[in-house]
């Protein structure tokens, strides 16, 4: 596996694949890889001639008081993990390489970016769409892999590709969990010992809420999650998916999505399911 840090070198490496009309899989990540990222990469390896994983903590998707500086980073470890699952190129650019110019064209995502995570992270999804667009332009992947863990991000990327006619197939991948149900996340390292023990109760409560979805009540749901996790709920919402609108009797697929604050970390989780299942 090659670790590449410049756009020029990456495009030189990919040139023969374009010429041969080979398929290119892209797995965008912010690094500090875990099994969730590995599953995305494995799917990409199975479906493409060559796989590029990007490893870049994107500053434009972090707000001023968020954890950009503290976000865990370990490129050497990431390179080992990516290599193990068959990634051919790990693209790990510097911030200067990705953003050499200031004050140019930026993205303004629509209403679906202002709810759920977007409500407490203003501008977050504008940054996500910016970096994803840049990666698509630089790499020109045939297929790009995204986890359902970040379901709102996935929905917005699907909208981006649809609205801007981007020639890439988006491949959604199911959430990978720890044995006790906690969704794997690079940020789980910020949980205290007690928080780590209580955190799986978020998913457990979401499952209970799913089973009783006909009587879903947001206020009660907040109380249930806070009692079970001892965290502070940022949001718990039931919406249609992937449109992220209030649920009507027409909707068949819905998302039950939640975000939870602990002392040094904010966790997200969700269940996407068909109504009546």
Question: Which residue ranges make up the site for ligand AMP (CB under 6 A)?
Answer: 29-30, 36-37, 40, 146-147, 149-150, 173, 175-176, 183-186
Residue 23 region by backbone torsions, left for phi larger than 0, else alpha for psi between -120 and 50, else beta: beta
**Which of 22, 34, 37, 101 is labelled catalytic?**
37
**Is the CB of 71 or the CB of 235 nearer to ligand AMP?**
71
Nearer to ligand AMP, 182 or 254 (CB): 182
Q: Taking CA 70 as the corner, what is the angle to CA 109 and CA 80, rounded to the nearest 5 degrees?
A: 95
CB-CB contact of 83 with 214 (8 Å): no
Q: Which two tokens stand for residue 65?
A: 């008081």
CB of 38 to ligand AMP, least distance (A): 10
Nearest-CB residue for ligand AMP: 147
Give catalytic status of residue 34 as yes or no: no
Q: How far is the CB of 249 from ligand AMP (least distance, A)?
A: 30
CB of 21 to ligand AMP, least distance (A): 26
* Whether the Cβ atoms of residue 25 and residue 52 lie closer than 8 Å to each other: yes
- C-alpha span between 226 and 48 (Å, rounded): 43
Kindly state the smallest distance separating residue 184's Cβ from ligand AMP, in Å. 4
d(CA 220, CA 149): 24
Nearer to ligand AMP, 34 or 214 (CB): 34
Beta carbon nearer to ligand AMP, 178 or 247: 178
Which one, of 143, 179, 183, lies nearest residue 272 by Cα?
183
Q: Which is nearer to ligand AMP, 149 or 266 (CB)?
A: 149
Q: CB of residue 60 vs ligand AMP: minimum separation in angstroms? A: 13
**Contact present, 258 and 239 (Cβ < 8 Å):** no
What are the beta bridge partners of residue 144?
26, 170
Q: From CA 220, how far away is CA 29, in angstroms rounded?
A: 35
Q: Which residues are catalytic?
A: 37
């Amino acid at each position: 596996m090659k670790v590449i840090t410049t756009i020029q070198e990456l495009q030189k490496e990919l040139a023969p694949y374009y010429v041969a009309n080979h398929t290119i899989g892209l797995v965008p990540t912010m690094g500090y890889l875990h099994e969730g990222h590995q599953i995305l990469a494995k799917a990409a390896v199975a479906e493409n001639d060559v796989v590029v994983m990007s490893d870049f903590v994107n500053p434009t998707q972090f707000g001023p008081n968020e954890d950009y500086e503290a976000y865990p980073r370990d490129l050497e470890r990431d390179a080992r993990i990516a290599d193990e699952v068959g990634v051919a190129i790990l693209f790990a650019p510097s911030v200067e390489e990705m953003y050499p110019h200031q004050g140019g064209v930026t993205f303004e995502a629509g209403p679906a970016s202002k709810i759920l995570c977007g409500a407490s992270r203003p501008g977050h999804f504008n940054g996500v769409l910016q970096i994803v667009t840049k990666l698509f332009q630089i790499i020109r992947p045939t297929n790009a892999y995204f986890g359902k863990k970040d379901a709102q991000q996935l929905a917005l990327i699907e909208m981006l590709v649809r609205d801007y006619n981007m020639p890439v197939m988006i491949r959604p991948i199911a959430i990978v969990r720890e044995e006790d149900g906690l969704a794997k996340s690079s940020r789980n390292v910020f949980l205290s010992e007690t928080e780590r023990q209580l955190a799986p109760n978020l998913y457990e409560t979401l499952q209970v809420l799913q089973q009783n979805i006909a009587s879903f009540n947001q206020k009660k749901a907040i109380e249930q999650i806070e009692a079970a996790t001892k965290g502070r709920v940022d949001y718990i919402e039931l919406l249609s998916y992937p449109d992220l609108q209030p649920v009507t009797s027409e909707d068949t697929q819905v998302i039950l999505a939640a975000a939870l604050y602990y002392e040094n970390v904010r966790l997200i989780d969700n269940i996407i399911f068909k109504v009546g299942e």
